[in-house]
């Protein structure tokens, strides 16, 4: 019999005395000046944690671990089936690399508060670059490699970086991602002029460097190490920004989520044992990408703040080379836990339904599987439980929160799992389900999921230089709460069920995308009069975007040709990550009498769900046309 979970007691303590709870958690971090004010409600749009504390995140991730005797332990194991390599860096080696690169950045004039944009594949140097920024107080902004030049340019124009760190190429199965031409194009498109880039030449596809602007990473590194350069840690206020991470909003302009130094370090450190059950010295694997929040928090920062070894994986769950790759990595590197997205498990299940490849590997050390990024569908969770015979923990969070909102705390003692629910709110989060008047609804009743202010340490304090947009996007609709834009319910035991978004964000293979952003691209095609993009069900990716277009009067070109151009346009403007492959021409879009496009009903038709004719519909025939168009494309039967 395992001991009863301490969850309820710990959650109650954090609710009763949040400042006492987080002050105690803050003792697990080394501070230059321990905060006297644990929470200051007068700062920022809803208050700031550890307002007068001073620390350095990189110091806590590296120097402190070396000083505590972890110098010879691996900080990072980089495993790349795509490059055919495994690279290890001990904490001591990582510290040396980070301090040298931080000195290089300083030589280019990068100082505390300056932004550094990182557009890189999953290579050790990306981690080194992020930590080097943290060391000198520069604010990194990592852009996911699957985004196109225009998206990169938008981020350059918002963050105004002083420096860009990039690489010559990325590796995807069967294709090389040409980073450098994308970077050059983004710099050309951006209004903000970036004076310096540092480019890592990868042997798979070296690139040409622009004289005067681009610098060779390896040369700078070698020169800095030869000269014995090592930047010391810069003391930072807990409230100084550590990074900006752009995420999809309801328009094409992404939101710059700001993460602070103090709250982030405290919350992530707390989570590694209490939530994930991982002890310092153990090997942990988060299979996300550094371009996403999950990668920031659980490939880079949390494992190192905790003194664990982090695996960074440049590959896919299937096809690199087969559906046994995950099990090979776990067995070979002795990982105790894996954190990935349900979509990866749907891919594994499809390729290896009987789990034969799983049994080829020694997974005796593997204790827990964590899933997040999208709703974990019960059949996938059940399959993983049956095959792996370890707890499978769904947990819910957002780029904005930086760590888990609702989960099942392994370190405090696992609570009974209910399939379809990410379990219960973590300490510091008061999660309510409310109606339109911000009144909590009864148990088992659907509503908007909101978090009572203040949110716990680690959550975004604001959007980059946009306090007003932050208030308007998150704090205005439900006064006193942060709006998650997720809908769902809580059951009689307080378990949270997250059922879907209330805005136009869709979740494609665990990647968060804005259909509004895609509609802007479709509408820019010269032959398109009107459009609507919806997320429709997909057995592998959960959802995929599907675009309906109405062509301008007088357009005589074949619709199939225009549809192809539209697909290419989204790939070109947003990037392959949008996974936009379905464009359908229709004569008109179904609308209400007041002109609102009936996206909800269109989605139900596409998903094969039951639907009823909206009373406000302008022309019922328009919905029948959507059904026929989907049938013609073979998307519905």
Query: Can you give the binding site for ligand COA, defined by CB under 6 A?
Result: 145-146, 170, 172, 177, 287-289, 292, 294, 316-318, 340-341, 343-344, 347, 372-373, 508-510, 541, 576-577, 579
Nearest CA to 504 out of 636, 596, 627 is that of 596
Helix (H, G, I), strand (E, B) or coil at 70: helix
* Of the candidate residues 247, 261, 288, 340, the single one contacting ligand AMP (CB under 6 A): 247
Which partner, ligand AMP, ligand COA, none, binds residue 576 by CB below 5 to 8 Å per kind?
ligand COA
Nearer to ligand AMP by C-beta: 96 or 501? Answer: 501
Which one of ligand AMP, ligand COA, none is in contact with 152 (Cβ closer than 5 to 8 A by kind)? none
User: Any contact of residue 370 with ligand AMP (CB under 6 A)?
Assistant: no
Decide if residue 399 touches ligand AMP (CB under 6 A).
Answer: yes
Site string for ligand AMP, 68-107 (x = CB under 6 A): ----------------------------------------
Nearer to ligand COA (CB atom), residue 564 or residue 593: 564
- Map the footprint of ligand AMP across residues 403-432, applying CB under 6 A: 422
Is 394 among the residues that bind ligand AMP (CB under 6 A)?
A: yes
For ligand AMP, the closer of residues 240 and 394 by Cβ is: 394
535 binds, among ligand AMP, ligand COA, none (CB under 5 to 8 A by kind): none
Segment 467 to 506, residues that bind ligand AMP, using CB under 6 A = 484, 486, 498, 501
- The nearer residue to ligand AMP, 65 or 398, going by C-beta atoms, is 398
- What does 161 bind: ligand AMP, ligand COA, none (CB cut-off 5 to 8 Å by kind)? none
- Identified binder of ligand AMP from the candidate list 60, 368, 387, 398, rule CB under 6 A: 398
Alpha helix (H) residue ranges in 113-216: 124-136, 149-159, 179-189
373 is a site residue for ligand AMP (CB under 6 A): yes
Partner in contact with 395, chosen from ligand AMP, ligand COA, none, beta carbon below 5 to 8 Å by kind: ligand AMP
Q: Are 62 and 91 in contact (CB under 8 A)?
A: yes
Q: Applying CB under 6 A, does 56 fall inside the site for ligand AMP?
A: no
- Asked whether the beta carbons of 499 and 375 are under 8 A apart, the reply is yes
Interface with ligand AMP, residue 402, by CB under 6 A: no
Residue/partner pairs of 228-232 with CB below 8 Å, 24 or more apart: 229/99, 229/100, 229/103, 229/104, 229/107, 230/96, 230/99, 230/100, 230/102, 230/103, 231/99, 231/100, 231/102, 231/103, 231/105, 231/106, 231/132, 231/135, 231/136, 232/99, 232/135
Does 447 bind ligand AMP (CB under 6 A)? Our answer is no
| 106 neighbors 224 (Cβ within 8 angstroms) | no
For tokens 């996938």, name the residue: 380
**Locus of tokens 């000195």:** 103
CA atoms of 57 and 59, how far apart (whole Å): 5
Least distance CB 264 / ligand AMP (angstroms) = 15
255 counts as binding ligand AMP under rule CB under 6 A: no
DSSP 226-276: HTT--PPPPPEETTSEEEEEEE--SSSS-EEEEEESHHHHHHHHHHHHHTT
What is the spatial distance between Cα 264 and Cα 241, in angstroms, rounded to a whole number? Answer: 10
| Binding partner of 341, given ligand AMP, ligand COA, none, CB within 5-8 angstroms per partner class | ligand COA
Burial class (CB in 10 A: 0-12, 13-18, 19+), 351: middle
Cα dihedral 604/609/615/620 (nearest 10): 70
Nearest to 518 by CA among 148, 271, 124: 148
> Among residues 95, 293, 311, 626, which is the contact residue for ligand AMP, using CB under 6 A?
293
Where does 474-620 have alpha helices with state H?
515-523, 559-573, 599-607
Residues 178-237, interacting with ligand AMP (CB under 6 A): none
Partner touching 170 among ligand COA, ligand AMP, none, CB below 5 to 8 Å by kind:
ligand COA
**According to the binding rule CB under 6 A, does residue 507 interact with ligand AMP?**
yes
Q: Which does 375 bind (CB under 5 to 8 A by kind): ligand COA, ligand AMP, none?
A: ligand AMP
Q: Which of these segments, 70-78, 89-97, 368-376, 475-483, binds ligand AMP (CB under 6 A)?
A: 368-376
The shares of helix, strand and coil residues in the chain, as percent rounded to the nearest 5, are 35, 25, 40
Contact partner at residue 486 from ligand COA, ligand AMP, none, CB < 5 to 8 Å by partner kind: ligand AMP
Is the Cβ of residue 288 or residue 515 nearer to ligand COA in the bound state? 288
For the residues of 288-320, what is the DSSP string, one character each?
S-TTSHHHIIIIIIHHHHTT-EEEEE-S-SSSS
Distances (CA, A) of 391 to 221, 274, 345, 417, 507: 43, 15, 14, 8, 24
Two tokens, residue 279: 């002890």
Query: Nearer to ligand AMP by C-beta: 90 or 247?
Result: 247
Residues that bind ligand AMP (CB under 6 A): 247, 293, 372-376, 394-399, 422, 484, 486, 498, 501, 507, 512
């Amino acid at each position: 019999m395992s001991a009863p979970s301490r969850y309820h007691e710990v959650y109650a303590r954090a609710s009763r005395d949040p400042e006492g709870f987080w002050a105690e958690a803050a003792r697990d971090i080394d501070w230059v000046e321990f905060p006297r004010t644990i929470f200051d409600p007068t700062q920022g749009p809803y208050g700031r944690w550890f307002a007068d504390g001073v620390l350095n995140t990189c110091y806590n991730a590296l120097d402190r671990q070396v000083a505590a005797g972890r110098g010879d332990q691996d900080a990072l194991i980089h495993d790349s089936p795509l490059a055919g390599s495994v690279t290890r860096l001990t904490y001591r080696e990582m510290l040396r690399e980070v301090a040298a690169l931080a000195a290089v950045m300083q030589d280019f004039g990068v100082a505390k508060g300056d932004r550094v944009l990182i557009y890189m594949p999953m290579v050790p140097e990306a981690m080194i670059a992020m930590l080097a920024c943290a060391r000198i107080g520069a604010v990194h902004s990592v852009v996911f490699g699957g985004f196109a030049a225009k998206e990169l340019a938008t981020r350059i124009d918002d963050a105004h970086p002083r420096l860009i760190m990039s690489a010559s190429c990325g590796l995807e199965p069967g294709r090389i991602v040409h980073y450098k031409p994308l970077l050059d194009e983004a710099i050309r498109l951006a209004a903000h002029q970036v004076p310096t880039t540092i480019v890592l030449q990868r042997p798979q596809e070296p690139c040409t460097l622009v004289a005067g602007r681009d610098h060779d990473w390896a040369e700078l590194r070698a020169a800095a190490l030869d000269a014995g350069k090592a930047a010391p840690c810069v003391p930072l206020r807990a409230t100084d920004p550590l990074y900006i991470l752009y995420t999809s909003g309801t328009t094409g302009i992404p939101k710059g989520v700001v993460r602070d130094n103090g709250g982030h370090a405290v919350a992530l450190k707390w989570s590694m044992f209490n939530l994930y059950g991982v002890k310092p010295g153990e090997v942990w694997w988060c299979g996300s990408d550094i371009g996403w929040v999950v990668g920031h928090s659980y490939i880079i920062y949390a494992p190192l703040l905790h003194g664990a070894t982090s695996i960074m994986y440049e590959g896919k769950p299937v096809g690199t080379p087969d559906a046994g790759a995950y099990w090979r990595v776990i067995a070979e590197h002795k990982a105790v836990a894996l954190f990935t997205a349900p979509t990866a498990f749907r891919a594994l299940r499809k390729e290896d339904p009987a789990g034969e490849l799983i049994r080829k590997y020694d997974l005796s050390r593997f204790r827990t599987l964590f899933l997040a990024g999208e709703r974990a569908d019960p059949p996938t969770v059940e399959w993983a439980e049956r095959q792996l015979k370890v707890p499978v923990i769904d947990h819910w969070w957002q780029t904005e929160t930086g760590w888990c909102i609702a989960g099942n705390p392994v370190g405090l003692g696992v609570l009974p799992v209910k399939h379809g629910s990410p379990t219960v709110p973590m300490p510091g989060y008061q999660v309510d389900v409310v109606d339109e008047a911000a009144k909590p609804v009864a148990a088992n009743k659907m509503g908007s999921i909101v978090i009572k202010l203040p949110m716990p340490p680690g959550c975004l304090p604001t959007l980059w230089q946009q306090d007003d947009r932050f208030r308007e996007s998150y704090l205005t609709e439900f006064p006193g709460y942060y709006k998650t834009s997720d809908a769902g319910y809580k059951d009689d035991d307080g378990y949270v069920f997250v059922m879907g978004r209330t805005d136009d964000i869709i979740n494609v293979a665990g990647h968060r995308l804005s259909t509004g952003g895609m509609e802007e691209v479709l509408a820019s095609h010269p032959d398109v009069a009107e459009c609507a993009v919806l997320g429709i069900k997909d057995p592998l990716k959960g959802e995929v975007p599907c675009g309906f277009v109405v062509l301008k009067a007088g357009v005589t070109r074949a619709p199939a040709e225009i549809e192809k151009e539209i697909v290419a346009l989204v790939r070109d403007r947003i990037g392959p990550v949008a996974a936009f492959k379905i464009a359908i021409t229709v004569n008109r879009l179904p609308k209400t009498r007041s002109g609102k496009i009936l996206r909800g009903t269109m989605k139900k038709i596409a998903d094969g769900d039951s639907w009823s004719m909206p009373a406000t519909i302008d022309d019922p025939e328009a919905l029948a046309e959507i059904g026929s168009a989907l049938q013609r494309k073979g998307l519905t039967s």
